[in-house]
Structure 1
Amino acid sequence: MSELGFILSELHFIRPLWLLLLIPVLLVWFQIRRRATRQGPEIDGLAPHLRAALTVGSGRKKRRLPIDGVALVLVLAVLGTAGPTWSRQPDPFVAQTAPMVVVLKVTPSMTANDIAPTRLERAKQKITDLLALRAGARTALVAYAGTAHSVVPMTNDPTVMQPYLEGLSPDVMPREGDDVATALDRARSLLASADTSGAILLVLDALNPADANALAGDENAGVAVGVLAMLPDGASDPGIDAVDRVKVRVTPDDSDLRTLDRSLNADYRRALNETGSQPWDDRGWMLAIPAALLTLIWFRRGWTMRWSVWALVAGMTLGLPDQAKAGVADWFLTPDQQGQIAFSNKEYKRAAELFVDPMWKARALYKDGQYEEAARTYDRLDTAEATFAKGMAHMRSRGYRAGIAAFEETLKLDPDFPQAAANLATAREILDYIETTREQSDTGEEAGIGADDTVFDNEEARGTETEMNVSEDGDRLLTTDQWMSFVDTRTGDFLRQRFAIEAAEQ
């Protein structure tokens, strides 16, 4: 579904009673226009063609009148006041992009070089570009040939997926074949663990027509399915052609990915509209722009209410504070509205600078990764939502004890606040694990092998300092991380062994 199709399907008004004002506006427009276009009295003895030539304004019916522009401005004002909307305000703690499972075919046919450098390598590049386009949305990866394997579970960190993606090749798959059905089952199980609707993207060069028909059940389950066909120009596949879902052919630019992302994300956004608790995002301000532009026609000679334009310009010039005269956007939008636009465009740093509302300012800081500053901003508010968000910000900045205090405060304000109790328990487990680990392990600080730049929240000072014994030749005990740094194994070797074990268990 295109963006326009999604808007039209979800469009409604927050304050629909204001639409009743359209009735008097249209009635006044009809009465004034009919009076202005009424023909004069008939004159006996005057030929019709002479009467038409001698009558001033005889073609007035075909002309646009001043009342037309005034009525259009009033209609736009009424529609804007009614609050048109098609989506809820974004929740900073809920991903605005659907969780997606990418199912990649890894077979010898994908090594064909009719798409440079090969179909498989180009598919990996496309998946990498898709991760960047989805801006941190949760994504999982499944690879299949004769068997199907979950390569990476749901993650919002593209750096985690990249090495595993690069390690995929046909020689790491334990069996040859084309078992897309099992791959789809694994993808559905990964989406089920996400506790929300999502999408499956098939990246392949051929599909069995029987498997194409099997995709019909996913729509009823609330799972959107798309296909990225790794086929060169002029080539086709009967199975891919039979898919009655969103399907695009690979392109040199990112237009294929943008089409897939828009279409697969539409169902998820609709689900957020139905189940979300955020207020609706009022888009009435968008109608103020064409209404303001239409007032420019009042400068034409003979058009009414020219004085209103000058009054409007004078009021905007004299009534606004000096700092509001800095840019054209400030004439039409408040700082919070400008911040909302930047937030929707994922320009979180700029949004944080624009927002005046402390709640939205803190949300923008949180999304920009400025967790400590976000926590300080949330601290100015005393609502359950703000204290919960403050706890999340502390957890992100590894201030576990402060996060625990914030979650406890949330439960005092609202004992039934969603996820507060679960997050409190998780925060306590993390803190207990850190302090228990400190008790049971040697820190190695005397030997100089402690972890670099790692600080644990250990206010209770649990654990003891242990001195490491270093032998005369300089040998010393190595930490797990240090041992792992000496391991020289390619990701492909790891995947080959792991897939072989999984195939044997199956």
Structure 2
Amino acid sequence: MIEPLVIDQFHFLRPEWLLAIIPATMLVLFFWRQKSSAVNWRGAINPQLLDHLIDGGSKKTARWPWLLLLLAWIIAAIAMAGPTWTKLPQPIHKKQDALVVVLDLSLSMLAEDIKPSRLVRARHKILDILAQRDEGLTALIAYSGDAHIVSPLTDDNPTIANLTPALSPGMMPVFGSDPVGALKLAKQLFKNAGATNGRVLLITDGVTESDVDDIDNLLSRSGYELSIMGVGTPDGAPIPAKSGFLKDDGGNIIVPQLQRSRLEELAKHNKGRYADISLNDNDVGFLLPKLTTELEDNTVLTEREFDQWHDRGPLLTLALLPLALLAFRRGWLLVLPLLILAQPQTSHAFEWQDLWERPDQQAAKALHNGDAKTAAGLFKDNQWKASANYQAGNFDNAAKQFAQQDTATSHYNRGNALAKAGKLDEAIEAYDKALGQRPDMEDAQFNKELLEQLKEQQEQQQQQSSDNGEESDQEKQDSEQQDQQQGDQQNQDGEQQESDQQSEQNQQGDKEKQRSEKQGSEQNSEQQNAEESEEEKQQREQQQAQQEKQEQEQSEQQQAQASEQDQQSQQQKQAMEQWLRQIPDDPSGLLRRKFNHESKVRQQQGETQREQPQW
């Protein structure tokens, strides 16, 4: 059955074979343009004699065989290039090496008899182990008064390495030391993964006598070996506390010591080894020797979608069969070697990057290199795409993509994106939805309270800006009234002055009445016209001055409003940056909440805790 063609996955496995079409085309063009022998003789022999001297010289050379040869060559080149569009399930052998690292997080691991402390040295050693393991599955379990799974069996060692530095006794919900519960979880992890054989590495400074018996009964006839790495010294050291050192009920300082002999006996009973923690890798090499790959039991056959593409080139050979029939014509058997298909040993994809890395892998690499914008375009998963958009500063798209899932974490991330985009009300609503699904989400509650405080500050600033605007409007009205009063006063003064001038002119007219009544009347008329034009001129100037003053006031008011808006925007930006700086960066918060939830569930199910020391 032939799978349907998928255009976006179509490519060539060996694209360099397509270059063979170029010389074939050049060769056919060369022979196509070659003239017949008769045409070559026409330059030296009389055409009337040429037909009698050369047999068939007047016939044209057939050119269609060259076209068929070019077609066959092109089909063969495409077949050799290896067209493909589907993947094949590729069976591979994988080393069956399951390792569960069990870390003691009791208070005694804080002792500083080895520097800087037992806990720090143990975490560094786990990171060294993860860096050396290039095959197999690894899990990590942490325990104190109860045990918790940090990571199940996986080949993703970098993820475990990112979680390891956050482990500390302070994040454990119950103080104490329960290695038996931790080994029960390790046994359950092996069972869930279907591993019949496996190794457990216990990193601790000691166990009790009752723990030794319980562990022997738990691991006997189980097929799992237990190796132990001892952390500390036989002399021991006190446990640091806030005020001095940790003391027992009698007021004595507690000095936990390395129980080397007991741990050696426990490892020997369970087919394992014991070694003290060291500064080099000798302890890891001794406790976790490399498994031999020659044994068939050490590998398992898995079937997974690997980068093995189904070559469809051989199907094109069917198209060559009709052309191959023409090879039996005289002379055409010489081109048969050109049509032989040989499968090369090496192959290269036409799209080099897509062959070696999936789009999600390319996106993860781009995100790791700081190119979040490119990663957002490559990711197929909406949550990864949203995270990339968030890091690229495209907060609106990030919020839309986070909203596609109805989970507490998605709503919390959507709230962060909306807060970054300045949409405080929508961000608060997103935090409310997250808290509605998980009321114990401390980060969402903290961010919500910060946004509410920021919103109150913005409302207060807007109220102050509104009050300042009303005061400026009142001042504007007072100024206009004052200008109007001044204009009225000027009009009254002008009218009084005109009245006085007219009285004087009338008196002068009476004295000069004897000269000429006609001349007096004309003069009075001209004076009245002059007075009227002067009055209109003064009114026009007053109106222009008042209009210019209003335009200037409006311009000043607009500039003041723009400056005030810029100041508010700057204050809002500064407040947003201060709020973002207040968000705590606590990588252990997720594990702490996970451990607390598991501990509460166990208490609700009525699980009783074993008698154990509190340190």
TM-score of the alignment, normalized to the shorter chain, above 0.5: no
Q: TM-score, normalised by structure 2?
A: 0.35
- The structure with more radius of gyration: 2
Higher helix share: 2
TM-score normalized with structure 1 length:
0.42
